[in-house]
Amino acid sequence: MKKISLLIVDDRDIIRDGLKLIFSGSDNINVKDEASDGNEAIALIEKNDYDVVLMDINMPNMNGIEATKSIKKLKSNIKVLANSFYTSPIFIRDMIRAGSSGFIKKGESRNSYIEAIESVHNGTIYLSDEVNHKTYDKVLDYLKSPVKGDPIVS
């Protein structure tokens, strides 16, 4: 069985290193590359093929929302999984609108990360357990609402 080819995108070295460690013992996931911002991720995607991109939201130069939009235009078959400390329904909604297949909160367990990567790779939407029902309901409401004028909700 072919391993899932993964690109990790995060502006913090320590987080990228931790994520690589999480996936190092996985039978199904191969961390192929890493990028420190959206621009770097797009440059890698133009040259290489990946199955899944694990995308931070808040980064300098180009954030995860803009990078996800660009990635989906370049190669629509690549799955993107948002990865952030921020669980605001607005951020999650914006990532899903950009083309993300789900969201996992930073700091989840190794098994949760592996489950999330495998889920989005297999075509299902993944939302972290940290995203409670109230937040999930807000995300669904915000997906139906126009972007302009949305309140920032934490």
- Give the Cα separation of 43 and 45 in Å (integer): 6
pLDDT at 87: 83
pLDDT at 35: 98
Domain positions in the chain are 4-144
pLDDT at 154: 35
Pairing relationship of beta strands 126-127 and 102-105 according to DSSP bridges: parallel
Token pair listed for 32: 């192929």
pLDDT at 84: 94
pLDDT at 147: 55
Q: CATH for 4-144?
A: 3.40.50.2300
- Give the Cα separation of 53 and 65 in Å (integer): 12
* pTM beyond cutoff 0.85: yes
pLDDT at 128: 87
pLDDT at 104: 95
Pick the closest to residue 9 from 35, 33, 46, 45 (CA basis): 35
Please spell the DSSP secondary structure of 57-96, one letter per residue.
SS-SSS-HHHHHHHHHHH-TT-EEEEEES---HHHHHHHH
pLDDT at 145: 64
pLDDT at 139: 65
The letter for the amino acid at 117 is I
- Give the Cα separation of 59 and 56 in Å (integer): 7
Do 35 and 11 form a contact (C-beta atoms < 8 A)? no
* Sites in the chain below the pLDDT cut of 70: 130, 132-154
